[in-house]
Amino acid sequence: MWLFRALCLIIIGNKVAYCSWSTKALLKKLFEDEKYNKLVRPVLEPSTVINMTMLLYVAQVLDMDERRQTLKSNLWMTLVWRDEYLQWKPEDFGNLTAIKIPSNLVWMPDIVLYDNADTAYTQFLQDKIIVLYHNGTCNWASPIIVKSHCRLNVMNFPFDDQKCKMKFGPWQHDGNEVVMTSGQGDDSVFNSDGEWDMVGMNSSSNLQSYPDAPGITYTDIVYTLYFRRRSMYYVFNLVLPCILISSTTVLCFLLPVDSGEKISLTITVLLSLTVFLLLIAESMPPSSEVPIIGKYYAATMLLVSISMAMTIIVLNLHYRGPMYSRVPKWAKILFLKYLAKIVCIRVTNATMSLNISKDSFLRNSDISEESGSLMEMVFLDGQIDGSPINGLKKLKKNLTKLSPCCTEQIAVMRLLLQEVKKVTKRFDKEDSTEEMKNEWKQIAMVMDRIFMVIYLVCTSMTVWLIMKRIPHSNG
């Protein structure tokens, strides 16, 4: 026997501790000799209330599901209470002051998580190690993983702070049997998952009754956890692409109308924003609360849609033809004289007239000297103004000066002048039409530049308003 004790003797500095023989003897005394019953509340007097202290430390956020409104977290929990049946004198058992035994051997409170969001209520107190001290103090400590309901406010997503509550308390032991005392709890062991940072934690003890047990009060502890989202990930993957895509809409205003791609570019931008908005909707809860990033996307899509309407107006002005009236005088003054200078558009003379003079006509014609004299008489003043031939009587008086062979030439020249008059009228009409078209094109160009300025101002105001709504703690 002495050899067994010698082998079990462990020397640590100046302290001497005995091996398992004292532990075996203590366990035999507590659980066999005294016939400890774990089904009985461990108090000598039935009126004695067990004061239970709870400590909670948040180690990590495993999952924060905004759509299902749940929080899955890794917790370090500690429960401390006094078992009046589990006491001994240390000197009777080799100065043994504490032992570690399975929690299944002793009475355990029926502590549950009221905000449980898992598929079932798990008995997380079972199958753990409990430290039992000689004065009857029981210390249960273990890491647990819980999934709880958490009302998440996504109005400021992704620049949001969240507050989650966890309510722990006994389910059957009322306030006359077990009283929960609020213990400490902090984020000293918290390890961020890269998305959430813990900024605070507090606890409070409550005494209340429930509908299934009217008139009976129960105690519980509510831990309030405060988290702050790291928004940089969402800024680079959601906010920045939206800003870049919306900026692409500006290129739609700079794109020439004749390219035929203005509407196509606007529709492509609108579809791209819709894809990103669907990604946000998949992660948000189906509620009436629209997150701030969703409002930004909706506002941007509205601006892009308005830019499409602006582009249609510009195209309508650009392709106006003869079936429309000329540009009103007030529009010319307003757009081509004043607004064009403001938006830095250079307006040119769009009139393309056909100037036909007698000199150019004669220079480009193979006419004899005699025919030249005839032309001088026919043109009279030496010009064609598109009106009927004047001075016909004067022409007849001068016919006597010509030889008889010139009479036929004069008749031909008269027919030629009539044809020239028709051609001149046709060119004048085409010039007028072309001038009207070019005036409308220049009006459309000025309108396009004005719409671009309006879009830039509205986009800048939208970004400013969204940034103003961001909480200062996330700014």
Kindly state the tokens that stand for 460: 């800048």
Q: How far apart are CA 328 and CA 205, in angstroms?
A: 79
Which one-letter DSSP state was computed for residue 196?
E
Phi, psi of 80 (to 5 degrees): -130, 125
Compute and round to an integer the Cα radius of gyration of the chain: 48
Sign of CA dihedral 427, 429, 435, 437: negative
Q: How far apart are CA 400 and CA 126, in angstroms?
A: 137
For the chain, give every domain's residue range: 16-230
pLDDT of residue 397: 53
DSSP H helix total and E strand total for the chain: 12, 12
Q: How far apart are CA 66 and CA 196, in angstroms?
A: 13
> What contacts 48, CB < 8 A, 6 or more positions away?
84
Q: How far apart are CA 38 and CA 101, in angstroms?
A: 13
pLDDT of residue 392: 47
Residue written as tokens 């005392």? 181
Residue 381 exposure: Cα atoms within 13 Å on the Cβ side: 6
Q: How far apart are CA 42 and CA 177, in angstroms?
A: 10
pLDDT of residue 74: 94
> What contacts 14, CB < 8 A, 6 or more positions away?
none
Report the length, in residues, of the chain: 475
pLDDT of residue 363: 46
Kindly state the tokens that stand for 70: 């749940």
Give 95: exposed, middle or buried? Use CB within 10 Å, 0-12, 13-18, 19+. Answer: middle
Whether residue 270 contacts residue 301, with contact meaning beta carbons closer than 8 Å, is answered with yes
Domain over 16-230 is classified CATH 3.90.1150.10: no
Q: How far apart are CA 269 and CA 250, in angstroms?
A: 11
> 150-175 burial by CB neighbour count: b if 16+ within 10 A, else e?
bebebebbbbbbbebbbbbbbeebbb
> Could you give the strand order of the β-sheet that contains 98-102, starting from the edge strand earlier in sequence?
98-102, 129-133, 137-149, 70-82, 50-65, 178-186
Q: How far apart are CA 399 and CA 334, in angstroms?
A: 56
Given a cut of 50, the residues of the chain with pLDDT beneath it are: 1-19, 350-375, 377-392, 395, 399, 475
The reported pTM is 0.69
Q: How far apart are CA 34 and CA 87, in angstroms?
A: 11
Residue written as tokens 């005394």? 29
Q: How far apart are CA 440 and CA 437, in angstroms?
A: 5
Residue written as tokens 């220079």? 363
Whether residue 218 contacts residue 169, with contact meaning beta carbons closer than 8 Å, is answered with yes
Q: How far apart are CA 234 and CA 194, in angstroms?
A: 12
Closest CA to 317 of 193, 448, 210, 147: 448
Q: How far apart are CA 92 and CA 133, in angstroms?
A: 14
384-393: long-range contacts (C-beta < 8 A, 24 or more apart)? Answer: 384/356, 384/358, 384/417, 384/420, 384/421, 384/424, 386/421, 386/424, 386/425, 386/428, 388/421, 389/414, 389/417
pLDDT of residue 87: 93
Whether residue 81 contacts residue 52, with contact meaning beta carbons closer than 8 Å, is answered with yes
